[in-house]
Amino acid sequence: ALAKRLDDKSAAVRLSAAEALIHLGEPAETVLPVLTKALASEQPGEADAAARVLGELGPEAAPAVPAINDRVATADPLLTDRLAEALGRIGPAARDALAGLKAKLAADKDAPLYRVPAAVALWRVARDPDAAPLLRTALADPKGRATPPAVLWRIDPLDETVKALEKHLKADDAADVLAAAAALGARSKETVPALARLLKSENGATRIEVAVALSAFGPDGAAALDALRAADRLGPSAPVAVALYR
């Protein structure tokens, strides 16, 4: 009965049925015709939903790569984000679509809005060396998705990435600093001072996170933690106690 809904007049019903069938373990070829057709739609949300479901299929969506490649050229930033994520999840079988994605990244003024998923797709599909420079650029650009520092470090643990992450340690947002610190660890002498700076935060939750992070640095983080404890700014939090004495 559910399979019959793939022929429903409503695109929403067809796509919902396709997703449900995937979750029930139906073969990809059962739903791919519906999904690839929806990719070409100009109706708001239809192509976006199809791209998301194709991403859920992962490598099984390989036959849809030509359709994804065709849609990338005219897709808006949100849809391009979804298409890039789908290509990354498909993996090496999506290699033929990378040239089109890279061409769009180079020519589109809105490329910063989908640069991160595109870079991740380049890496997942072909270990493309352009992925790391794209992620380093995105790290300093507030547009689009945030770049997880850990992802950048995993792709390219070299000097340029260290410098980019050290710059991120100076960010105003505590979450950015903590993420960069987690990626760099003791590889940079700038990490502990950057975390110590956050100990002055008026936000108790931030101080707890910083204390836990500093505890991983052993003696190097002990001085900063002792200063905070002496100032009675840690509070009675159990996580902090664990951080101080583990």
Taking residue 190's Cβ as centre, other Cβ atoms within 10 Å add up to 17
Within 13 A of 182's CA, how many CA atoms are on the CB side? 17
Distance spanning both ends of the chain, measured CA to CA: 57
Find out whether 194 and 165 touch, Cβ atoms under 8 Å: no
pLDDT computed for residue 7 by the predictor: 87
- Each residue's pLDDT, cut to its tens digit, for the chain (246 residues) gives 788 889 889 989 999 999 999 989 989 999 999 999 999 998 879 999 999 999 999 999 999 999 999 999 999 999 999 999 999 999 999 999 999 999 999 999 999 999 999 999 999 999 999 999 999 988 888 777 777 788 899 899 899 999 999 999 998 889 889 999 999 998 899 999 999 888 888 888 888 888 888 888 877 777 666 666 655 555 555 345 444 444
Residue in the structure block whose two tokens are 């998705």: 145
Q: What are phi and psi of 43, to 5 degrees?
A: -70, 135
**What is the DSSP code string of 178-223?**
HHHHHHHGGG-TTHHHHHHHHTT-S-HHHHHHHHHHHHTTTHHHHH
Using CA atoms of 106, 110, 113, 117 in order, give the dihedral in degrees to the nearest 10. -30
Mark out the alpha helices in the chain (DSSP H runs). Answer: 11-23, 28-39, 46-57, 65-72, 77-90, 98-107, 115-126, 131-139, 149-155, 159-168, 174-184, 191-198, 204-215, 219-230, 238-245
pLDDT at 241: 46
Closest CA to 85 of 144, 38, 167: 144
Query: Is-contact 90 59, C-beta < 8 A?
Result: yes
- What the block records as the tokens of 29 is 């070829």
For the record, the structure tokens of 101 come out as 């994605």
CA distance 50 to 21: 14
pLDDT, residue 232, reads 52
